[in-house]
């Protein structure tokens, strides 16, 4: 193990103990109660004997019976309460870990969200490993340590020489067991990684379920999923193997120490240095050590699983996240004038290669601005930069003259309504979906937004109206309905800037006309910036910005650009701007 890995393991172990720290009192009480339960269990046979003896002697039995009954009740209550407290604490540890993870995940930057399925498994599956590692393992090993130390003290009193010999054998064999702990942790981490891979592969299939079926790709996807399942099985069997090696070594350690003590002790008895009774007592104590030793090894393996889980949870905490902004003020100003936007010498690349090159333009408040350009020219990227999903590598983007980097994120995004081209809809009711960006909207505002997007007839025609469930990703809706819901959602927030990635083919002629009227109306109170795919959109636009491979190529109005820009002429005449 390299020094770096050793340092990291140390840090991970410290992190695991941090999950334990807030619950240390509950763990201590739970441990003591469990201990008390065991102790009363040990005393019960003695009390039963006392009852029998009293019956035999025809003496008063009430006293012993009350003591026995008391011990039974006390033992059951203590053991029950101890178990409840430990399990409750375990649930508390899992809850805290899950809480931290989900808070982090929703704050991740958009580019950090690579494998959602794997993230889900970290929240649901990895955290459960933490529960026994951070509670049962800690309490059991503490109890086992007390028993171990007690046994060793008694053995030291009986014969320090024999203790030295058996101790040396035990340390050697247990040292060998501790060597496999790293392997257990690695194998367990492999299991969790493979479970994450299953989640990621499953998410991939379920996210494009219709495509998978339409492509008759079920067999291919099943074999990919089964490969991930097999990988998990491989690591699980490896974990089982190393666990049994650890337990086996602990067993061998005790047996070996037993034999060595029997041999050397026997010789010392023969030489008259040790009484037979002391040797027998010593061997009994040694024999009794096997219980706490196997508990310690078991706890150590559980702890290793916890270490593996904490490691993967730490990776989530280290993923790039957006700054947590202070809660946005709930009181919105009554009037929200349109905001202007400006890009000055902005460059940006998702990876090493830039996709936006030194772009500059001004969008004054109000009106409709249309971006046009070939596929991949960088139109959506400009929207993402305005929403601050990504930071530009150089240059400044401002809204209302203020650098977007200086706006608190929630406030910045509170100014903008964003209608994405694929108009994502979340599982839930129509009402949830439309009010999603403005949960405080009144019923009147809601119906106004529905009217503007021509959704009123559709909604009133549904038996459950706005409470109709839309299904996973809105599968019960048509493409056009999804599009209009996305627009209603954006409008309900009364945006100062409306970003619209125009749908290429979702709306029929009547609804398209209605939408154009809506956009014209919105442009009176907000700055509308559209990624245009239709000739009608650019013809109505107040200004058009033509993008070519991440650069601004030309700006102007439709007639002006038709005359002066060959690429625009080409786009206007071709499918990219369908008339
Ligand atoms: N998340 C991403 N990671 C890496 N590269 C990306 C990412 N998103 C887009 N790109 C690349 O950036 C370039 C610009 O993409 P962008 O989506 O902005 O183009 P666009 O003009 O909106 O295209 P379209 O009209 O087809 O939607 C493309 O070359 C694309 O491959």
- What does the DSSP assignment read for 357-397? EEEEEEE-SSSEEEEEESTTSSHHHHHHHHTTSS--SEEEE
Where residue 575 falls among pLDDT bands split at 50, 70, 90? low
Specify the pLDDT at position 1.
58
Q: Is the CB–ligand 1 distance for residue 381 below 6 Å?
A: yes
Q: Is the CB–ligand 1 distance for residue 576 below 6 Å?
A: no
Specify the pLDDT at position 15.
77
Rounded Cα distance, 289 and 155, in Å: 11
Of 176-185, 266-275, 337-346, the least confident: 176-185
More confident residue, 405 or 1: 405
pLDDT digits (tens, 9 = 90+) for 280-319: 888 888 888 888 888 888 888 888 888 888 888 889 989 9
Testing ligand 1's pocket by substitution, the residue of 112, 375, 380, 550 carrying the most ligand atoms inside 8 A of its CB is 380
Specify the pLDDT at position 105.
93
Query: Taking 90 as the threshold, does the pLDDT of residue 528 lie above it?
Result: yes
Q: How many Å lie between the centroid of ligand 1 and the Cα of residue 355?
A: 8
Where residue 557 falls among pLDDT bands split at 50, 70, 90? very high
CB-CB contact of 224 with 194 (8 Å): no
| Average pLDDT estimate for 508-534 | 83
Q: What was the ipTM of the complex prediction? A: 0.97
Specify the pLDDT at position 333.
56
Specify the pLDDT at position 2.
67
Q: Is the CB–ligand 1 distance for residue 350 below 6 Å?
A: yes
Specify the pLDDT at position 440.
85
pLDDT digits (tens, 9 = 90+) for 445-461: 899 899 888 889 888 99
Q: Which three-class secondary structure state does DSSP give residue 322?
A: coil
Residue closest via CA to ligand 1's atom 29 equals 376
Q: Is the dihedral of CA 19, 24, 30, 35 positive or negative?
A: positive
Of 1-5, 299-303, 504-508, the least confident: 504-508
Q: Is the CB–ligand 1 distance for residue 377 below 6 Å?
A: yes
Query: Taking 70 as the threshold, does the pLDDT of residue 442 lie above it?
Result: yes
Q: Which three-class secondary structure state does DSSP give residue 345?
A: strand
Residue 380 sits at the vertex; the CA angle it makes with 376 and 386, to the nearest 5 degrees, is 140
Residue closest via CA to ligand 1's atom 18 equals 378
Q: What are phi and psi of 321, to 5 degrees?
A: -125, 160
Q: Is the CB–ligand 1 distance for residue 380 below 6 Å?
A: yes
The answer for residues whose C-beta is within 8 angstroms of residue 476's C-beta and 6 or more apart is 468, 469, 470
Average pLDDT, the chain: 86
pLDDT digits (tens, 9 = 90+) for 389-438: 999 999 999 999 999 999 999 889 989 999 988 878 888 888 988 999 88
CB-CB contact of 430 with 466 (8 Å): yes
Query: Taking 60 as the threshold, does the pLDDT of residue 523 lie above it?
Result: yes
Where residue 11 falls among pLDDT bands split at 50, 70, 90? confident
Where residue 372 falls among pLDDT bands split at 50, 70, 90? very high
């Amino acid at each position: 193990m390299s020094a770096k890995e050793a340092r990291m393991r140390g840090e991970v172990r410290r992190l695991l103990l941090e999950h334990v720290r807030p619950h240390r009192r509950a763990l201590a009480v739970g441990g003591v109660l469990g201990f008390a339960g065991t102790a009363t269990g040990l005393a019960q046979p003695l009390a039963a004997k006392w009852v029998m003896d009293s019956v035999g002697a025809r003496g008063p039995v009430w006293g012993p019976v009350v003591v026995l009954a008391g011990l039974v009740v006390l033992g059951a209550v203590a053991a029950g309460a101890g178990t409840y407290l430990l399990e409750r604490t375990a649930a508390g540890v899992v809850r805290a870990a899950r809480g931290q993870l989900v808070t982090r995940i929703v704050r991740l930057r958009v580019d950090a969200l690579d494998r959602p399925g794997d993230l889900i498994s970290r929240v649901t599956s990895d955290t459960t490993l933490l529960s026994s590692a951070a509670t049962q393992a800690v309490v059991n090993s503490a109890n086992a340590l007390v028993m171990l130390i007690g046994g060793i003290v008694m053995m030291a009193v009986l014969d320090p020489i024999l203790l030295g010999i058996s101790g040396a054998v035990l340390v050697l064999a247990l040292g060998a067991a501790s060597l496999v702990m790293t392997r257990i942790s690695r194998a367990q981490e492999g299991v969790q990684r493979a479970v994450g891979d299953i989640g990621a592969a499953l998410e991939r299939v379920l996210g494009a379920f219709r495509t998978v079926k339409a492509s008759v790709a079920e067999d291919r996807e099943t074999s990919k999923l089964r490969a991930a399942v097999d990988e998990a099985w491989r690591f699980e069997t490896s974990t089982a193997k190393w666990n049994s090696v650890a337990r086996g070594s602990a067993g061998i350690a005790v047996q070996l120490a037993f034999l060595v003590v029997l041999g050397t002790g026997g010789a010392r008895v023969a030489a008259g240095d040790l009484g037979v009774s002391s040797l027998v007592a010593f061997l009994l104590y040694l024999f009794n050590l096997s219980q706490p030793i196997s508990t310690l090894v078991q706890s150590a393996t559980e702890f290793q699983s916890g270490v593996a889980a904490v490691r993967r949870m730490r990776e989530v905490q280290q993923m790039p996240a957006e700054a947590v902004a202070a809660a946005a003020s709930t009181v919105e100003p009554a009037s929200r004038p349109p905001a202007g936007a400006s890009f000055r010498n902005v460059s940006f690349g998702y990876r090493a290669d830039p996709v936006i090159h030194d772009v500059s333009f001004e969008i004054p408040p109000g009106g409709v601005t249309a971006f046009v350009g070939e596929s991949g020219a960088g139109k959506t990227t400009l929207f993402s930069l305005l929403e601050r999903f990504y930071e530009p590598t150089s240059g400044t983007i401002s809204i209302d003259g203020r650098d977007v980097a200086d706006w608190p994120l929630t406030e910045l995004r509170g100014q903008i309504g964003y209608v994405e081209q694929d108009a994502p809809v979340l599982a839930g009711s129509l009402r949830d979906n439309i009010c999603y960006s403005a949960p405080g909207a009144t019923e009147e505002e809601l119906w106004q937004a529905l009217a503007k997007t021509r959704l009123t007839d559709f909604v009133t025609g549904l038996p459950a109206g706005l409470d109709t469930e839309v299904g996973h990703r809105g599968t019960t809706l048509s493409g056009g309905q999804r599009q209009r819901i996305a627009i209603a959602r954006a409008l309900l927030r009364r945006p100062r800037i409306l970003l619209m990635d125009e749908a290429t083919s979702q709306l029929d002629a009547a609804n398209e006309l209605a939408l154009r009227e809506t956009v014209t109306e919105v442009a009176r109170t907000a700055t509308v910036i559209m990624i245009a795919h239709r000739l009608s959109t650019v013809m109505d636009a107040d200004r058009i910005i033509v993008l070519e491979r991440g650069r601004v190529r030309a700006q102007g109005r439709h007639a002006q650009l038709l005359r002066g820009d060959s690429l625009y002429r080409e786009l206007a005449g071709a499918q990219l701007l369908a008339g």
